[in-house]
Amino acid sequence: MRISGRAVAYAGCVRLGISASRVLDDRDRDEVLELLDTDPITNVFVAARVRTVGLNPARLGGQMWGYGPRGRLVSLCYAGANMVPVNATPEAVQAFAERARRQGRRCSSIVGPSEAVRQLWERLEPHWGKARAIRWVQPVMATSSAPPVKPDPRVRRVRPEELPILLPACIAMFTEEIGVPPDNGDGGALYRSRVAELIRIGRSYARIDDGKVVFKAEIGAVTPHACQIQGVWVHPEMRGRGHAVAGMAAVVEEALKHFAPVVTLYVNDFNLPARAAYRKVGFKEVGTFTSVLF
């Protein structure tokens, strides 16, 4: 029997007629960072992971897939707790989807630029089944300027001993945003450790009045080019009083002063109060993400 077609093989992958994705390692680090830095706002989460721990899967918490041979990388896909496509061409999306289909779903979400995520999900849904929720439009926002509004002077870095005060607010935010609590499975140990780590490294901010969190936010990812705010939350009893605007202004000031020249975040399109608050602080929309949640 004769098989026609051009066989392309590298990193243990053989495909006919098209190039396959491959698992990257620390030898690819410089090239990966060069590709990530072509869009530092969109890629801040993945770039921060690579800069911090490299590409060894044990340290990275997953694999980094590349499309294209060493020295000519075209696209990436971080495949860890989240699956995040980077600069993913249609051909790369096809290769990433085939690898993901073969290994089965290991992530809790697919998140990233809308078109790439949509294409990935079109190919994976028949094999992975229905998603728990899909957030089709999530505006990516960014600012590099001092906020035009007065920051809340009572927003400050959270201290390590305040973890028991902050943690319930973090759990409430996560549950409200994602739709499920973060303490399923392991009783919340992993989530608690992440919250504690952000406090320890000085990237957790809050206004705490009489032992109650009024406002909180974290700087979750940091590179030399950008940082990403996450976990923005105002206590339900305190909403509508301007705490989000003043609190975010304080966090943006701190982020620009201590972490990176650009501050970014992404938000659900239907969260109109949050989008309005971010615009008041100086954020502008620069792109669109989509999140598929499992």
* pLDDT tens figures, 195-248: 999 999 999 999 999 999 999 999 999 999 999 999 999 999 999 999 999 999
* pLDDT band at residue 29 using 50, 70 and 90 as cut-offs: very high
Q: In angstroms, rounded to a whole number, what is the distance separating the alpha carbons of residues 57 and 26?
A: 10
Residue 86 phi/psi, 5° resolution? Answer: -130, 120
The confidence score (pLDDT) of residue 11 equals 40
Per-residue pLDDT band for 19 (boundaries 50, 70, 90) equals: low
Q: Letter for the amino acid at 98?
A: E
The residues near 31 (Cβ < 8 Å, ≥ 6 apart) are 70, 71, 73
- The residue that leads in pLDDT, 184 or 285, is 285
Q: Which of 108, 52, 117 is nearest to 80 (CA)?
A: 108
The CATH superfamily of 143-285 is Gcn5-related N-acetyltransferase (GNAT) (3.40.630.30)
Average confidence (pLDDT) over 241-269: 98
**Domain 12-130 shares a fold with domain 143-285:** yes
Rounded to the nearest 10°, the torsion over CA 51, 261, 146, 198 is 10
Comparing CA positions, the residue from 275, 181, 207, 264 lying closest to residue 230 is: 264
CATH number of 12-130: 3.40.630
CA distance 175 to 201: 24
Amino acid in position 42: T
Euclidean distance between CA atoms 107 and 124, whole angstroms: 12
**pLDDT value at 184 more than 90:** no
Mean pLDDT throughout 275-280?
A: 98
pLDDT at 13: 43
Task: Sketch the domain layout of the chain as residue ranges.
Answer: 12-130, 143-285
pLDDT surpassing 50 at residue 194: yes
Average pLDDT over residues 88-107: 97
Q: Is the pLDDT score of 294 beyond 90?
A: yes
Pairing of strands 227-234, 82-86: unpaired
pLDDT attached to residue 209: 98
- Is the confidence at residue 18, as pLDDT, over 70? no
Quote the CA–CA distance of 143 and 264 in Å, as a whole number.
7
Rounded-to-integer distance, Cα 221 and Cα 276, Å:
23
pTM of structure: 0.90
Q: What percent of the chain has pLDDT above 70?
A: 93
Residue-wise pLDDT for 43-72, tens only, equals: 999 999 999 999 999 999 999 999 998 899
Give the pLDDT confidence score for residue 186 in this predicted structure: 78
Residue 141: CA count within 13 A, CB half-sphere:
23
> Taking 90 as the threshold, does the pLDDT of residue 260 lie above it?
yes
| pLDDT the model gives residue 266 | 98
Give the per-residue pLDDT at 7: 35
Q: What pLDDT shows up at residue 57?
A: 95
- Whether the CB-CB separation of 217 and 185 falls below 8 Å is answered with no
Q: How confident is the model at residue 148 (pLDDT cuts 50, 70, 90)?
A: very high
Lowest mean pLDDT among 1-10, 80-89, 154-163, 279-288: 1-10
Is residue 161 exposed (0-12), middle (13-18) or buried (19+ Cβ within 10 Å)?
exposed
What percent of the chain lies above the pLDDT cut of 90? Answer: 89
Q: What is the pLDDT of residue 254?
A: 98
